[in-house]
Structure 1
């Protein structure tokens, strides 16, 4: 990208995608400033899991070893159970590939260590974006302005950058899904190797984390967004009453304040991730449901590809990024939107068919299906001088 612009970039958002993008651009020799609207980098969120494609992206960005160090192998990708405990599919060591699970806060700390502290500006909420052809000027809520040769919109589902630069794009789409997430107290319900349990219209999952903690989630069908409950943990208990061990123990080991509740939204496919010197990345570009465990994985892929393309003029580089990323991420979006139409169906016949097919399919079929998502090779990120 243009050396006459000083190879400077602004990254809006200090989440996983934004920090990864900053790391990649720094690695490629750029000057980077990360703007985060929160007053500080908070240790928020819960856990998640990552497939091999994300690990390859982390390796390309130079953070693979630390990524693995803050993660724990989980068998949840290939262990499926019914609420009564019966196995539909069971992880096979040596045949199935474990995912890696970590806590969002742990991964954020790992990535933040690779960005100089003075290059991350907290409390800097982007409110305006202006392009003049040679650069991008960003205005923050406090009135400060910054100009750079590139703006990366990594500011999430409700991206301000997307709304300002692509004002006609549709709003996020509620997918009639509600999700609770929680993390157990250290050592209180251990060990857990990882599993998913499929009920009718509900899916529970659990992943081990570092520090002998366990991350769990419950997703259910919910027709309207904005549902509120007197006690979220008790609501999860009620919806999983009678389900197999260790689910009751995991809930008993979870503090009430450690439970998060979110409505699940995604985005309809965008016509482009690029306009001028502005590029979208991660959820800002292709927010998706969590049912393939690929949202953050795709953000890491985005960051690796953006960094690899960061050597030439801005327009050509961003055009290549768009050509490489949009088809793949939008395919994953579609798959992630389609999956819960079956796996969260509340129709008894559909539930019986889904569980019967899963039982008969074997883990080999699941491995071949996963390969379509995981079989991705990152480009080489050239280290800048």
Structure 2
């Protein structure tokens, strides 16, 4: 690997930091560009599937799983009156993979990624630089005397768009092939300061409520409704549901809740790579609804696959920029269809879960194995 090979990773979320780690481990000089002025450490939980756990381990992040993650082994799908319809297939996942699904808080994972990036040799992280097009990769961020290493004109050998569903990199290099599309639901997420002991999802008419463990003494919760603009409206939407749903909403501070409009990327992109030196990872490539809980997992799998392809290309032939086009094609072949299948499955599940006439839905779910 040439010491001159430089990468710019746009976005310092899970996918961007994981990509930076993999590229540093492969010998690249890396600059991470983040639009926010600081990393956000809000406390939602990520579900980490066994395949994503393996990807984290290959990136040198096994310790976050050993020290901060909790297993997710028992969860149920319920009706609003509390009647159990089915069990989530967590036992089958563990039996097949030889390890359970894990849950880890977002702040823990972000801190672990930053620590792993330091161990890999570090990367310069430039905060407060919002890109508006390809030229933004070659211009000094406001307030800096000179462009950071890797942002000078002609020096970004590899550009990775990890900048989310509104990706400036995707718009700049992929045009309008795909873009954010609302699906008609509003999501709310938060952390309750107690353990409910009741985990899984409750499906109602056009809405659902979920709870998972996250760490001792706390419960991760999430909800989706057709409309709810205030905390009081959200509480009203789930009034009368089984315990502890109303209690979770009543006993957590609305100031800590996060509300967002649920969207996905549509249509699916024809490629995750462009121009022989640009690649997309995570939500920039395949933003999906949260129903399957696979957003963080697919971002991690993307990052590990991309950086592995770059490293393998360097080992097999011309490294650095000369080997990039082939490496990016290999990444696209490995990840695009798989990630897009997950995104499609998540969107389909959302339609099923939020059915406005839930009778048939509940009857079908009750036929699932326990």
Cα deviation code 1:141-175 (max 9, x no counterpart): 52854132101100000001111112232331111
- Cα 1:164–1:26 shift into 2, 3 Å: same
Residue 51 of structure 2 corresponds to which residue in structure 1? 53
- Within 5 Å, which residues of 2 pair with 1:47-126? 47-75=45-73, 78-90=75-87, 97=94, 98-116=100-118, 119-126=124-131
Q: 2: distance between equivalents of 1:68 and 1:193?
A: 24
Q: 1: distance between equivalents of 2:186 and 2:89?
A: 31
The equivalent position to 1:249 in structure 2, one of 247, 250, 258, is: 247
Asked if 2 retains the 8 angstrom alpha-carbon contact of 1:68 and 1:100, the reply is no
- Cα 1:339–1:93 shift into 2, 3 Å: closer
TM-score when normalising by structure 2: 0.86
Secondary structure of the 1:217 match is: strand
The equivalent position to 1:160 in structure 2, one of 168, 178, 199, is: 168
1:357 aligns with 2:339: no
Report the number of matched residues.
342
What root-mean-square deviation, in Å, do the aligned CA atoms of Structure 1 and Structure 2 show? 2.2
- Within 5 Å, which residues of 2 pair with 1:202-351? 202-222=207-227, 229=229, 231-232=230-231, 234-268=232-266, 269-276=268-275, 277-311=277-311, 312=313, 313-346=323-356, 348=357, 351=358
Q: Structure 2: any 5+ residue segments left out of the alignment?
A: 95-99, 314-322
Judge which range, 144-153 or 198-207, deviates more. 144-153
Q: 1: distance between equivalents of 2:238 and 2:305?
A: 41
TM-score when normalising by structure 1: 0.83
Secondary structure of the 2:103 match is: strand
Asked if 2 retains the 8 angstrom alpha-carbon contact of 1:127 and 1:140, the reply is no
Residue 374 of structure 1 corresponds to which residue in structure 2? none
Q: 2: distance between equivalents of 1:289 and 1:235?
A: 22
Asked if 2 retains the 8 angstrom alpha-carbon contact of 1:128 and 1:140, the reply is no
Q: Structure 1: any 5+ residue segments left out of the alignment?
A: 131-135, 223-227, 364-385
Secondary structure of the 2:183 match is: strand
Judge which range, 146-155 or 86-95, deviates more. 86-95
1:176 aligns with 2:184: yes
- Cα 1:151–1:243 shift into 2, 3 Å: same
Aligned-pair CA distance for 1:16: 0.5
Aligned-pair CA distance for 1:238: 0.6
Q: 2: distance between equivalents of 1:83 and 1:75?
A: 22
Residue 225 of structure 1 corresponds to which residue in structure 2? none
Residue 133 of structure 1 corresponds to which residue in structure 2? none
Aligned-pair CA distance for 1:198: 0.9
Aligned-pair CA distance for 1:68: 4.0
Asked if 2 retains the 8 angstrom alpha-carbon contact of 1:127 and 1:141, the reply is no
Q: 2: distance between equivalents of 1:36 and 1:44?
A: 17
Asked if 2 retains the 8 angstrom alpha-carbon contact of 1:309 and 1:321, the reply is yes
Asked if 1 retains the 8 angstrom alpha-carbon contact of 2:32 and 2:124, the reply is yes
Cα deviation code 1:210-244 (max 9, x no counterpart): 2421110111235xxxxx63x32x22211111111
Aligned-pair CA distance for 1:128: 3.1
Aligned-pair CA distance for 1:201: 0.9
Q: 2: distance between equivalents of 1:197 and 1:168?
A: 37
Q: 1: distance between equivalents of 2:4 and 2:365?
A: 54
Residue 35 of structure 1 corresponds to which residue in structure 2? 33
Secondary structure of the 1:361 match is: coil
- Cα 1:90–1:324 shift into 2, 3 Å: closer
